Amino acid sequence: MGPAQVDIPSFVRIKPGALGRLGLYAARHERAKPALLASAGLPDPIMTAVRDGFAERGIAFALEREVEDPSFAVAADLLAELPAGCDSVFGVGGGRALDVAKYVASLAGAPYYSVPTSLSNDGFCAPQSSLALQGRRKSLPCRMPFAVVVDTAVCSDAPEVLWWSGVGDLIAKLTAVQDWKLAYHERGEAVDDLAALLSTSTVYQFIARPHRDAESLQVMATALMISGVAMAICGSSRPASGAEHLISHALDRSSKRPRYHGLQVGVAAYLTSRLHGGGHTATIARLFDDTRFWDGIRAEPFSRDEWLEATRAASQSQCDRFTILQHRDCVGDVEAMIDSDPRLAGCFT
């Protein structure tokens, strides 16, 4: 067996002001006919900075579209619209638009520039896109971005709830890897040690300094990006997604009002850390105290009944992912935690 070859970003810029330099980066890479796919309704200053940066370099967009609906059908339509000779795709905005842009670029075989304007989850650099296919969300495999550009000044202006969501998705790497190791011990499932190590190591850098300033946003963006690289290395979302993600996916399917991915995943990670015996529970609880993550949940509490149903559904899900939920019946334990854990007080109604 030779060394693994994986597709990872070749160009990374994570710093304040990076958005206004996209045109410069495009010029350096000799992109003459880029497509711009951006979230609908981005603040004017963001779009102005992007457009001015390209105009200063004399680069006109071959196609410019706003993206609202993260569906396979929208991606297919945009692929059909891409003009001949389009040599790159720039995705700017939130997770939904980026999932579409990344998939369009992947289908077109064009280099993709991933430019998130908030850090609400790790999807901006993951080897799959979450798109609706005939009404159901599916994780569709796609190529990794050629470039990741994160403007930390823009991300610090994003609403705090999006940052909390990023905190939740980030900490879930600890429980995801716990589930992966459980699958190794119980089922003999192979664990890719480097992928597991990469996924969790950068999380601890953020835990050491969990603030919302430029320095911590840089660490958070790096950690979320490395999580995507870890997935690419092992060819699976295993290092980033365990039982906490199964619960969140079940909520997405059944909840009357699903919340941001990382809010659901973060609370589910706290619960599953306790199901695993508590090894990471104090770390997660302290991080959520320090970042005031709990306040974000209490501002709009989850439905207790929906979470118990989602835990049940996640335990019975037909996917081949073995987690603590497949290992034993956890619904009663989750119910007891929701009802009696002081940290969860006010998080459920």
Give residues in contact with Zn ion (CB under 5 A).
169
Instruction: State the amino acid at position 186 in one-letter form.
Output: E
CA 155 vs. chain centroid, Å, equals 14
CB 140 to Zn ion: min, Å: 15
**Total residue count of the chain as it appears in this document:** 349
**Which phi and psi (to 5°) does residue 67 adopt?**
-120, 130
Residue 50 vs 174, nearer CB to Zn ion: 174
Residue 151 vs 169, nearer CB to Zn ion: 169
- Token pair listed for 97: 């638009």
CB 10 to Zn ion: min, Å: 24
CB 169 to Zn ion: min, Å: 4
CA–CA distance, 315 with 329 (Å, rounded to integer): 8
Residue 71 vs 248, nearer CB to Zn ion: 248
* DSSP-derived 3-state class of residue 67: strand
Residue 122 vs 151, nearer CB to Zn ion: 122
Residue 50 vs 263, nearer CB to Zn ion: 263
CA–CA distance, 44 with 292 (Å, rounded to integer): 29
CA–CA distance, 234 with 267 (Å, rounded to integer): 26
| Bridge-based pairing state of the strands 136-141 and 88-93 | unpaired
CB 227 to Zn ion: min, Å: 8
Contact 185, 163 (CB under 8 A): no
Contact 273, 261 (CB under 8 A): no
Closest listed residue to residue 326, CA positions, set 253, 261, 254, 272? 272
CB 245 to Zn ion: min, Å: 6
DSSP character at residue 18: -
Residue 175 vs 315, nearer CB to Zn ion: 175
Residue 169 vs 179, nearer CB to Zn ion: 169
**Which phi and psi (to 5°) does residue 39 adopt?**
-55, 140
Residue nearest to Zn ion (CB): 169
CB 53 to Zn ion: min, Å: 30
CB 322 to Zn ion: min, Å: 18
Helix (H) or strand (E) holding 110: none
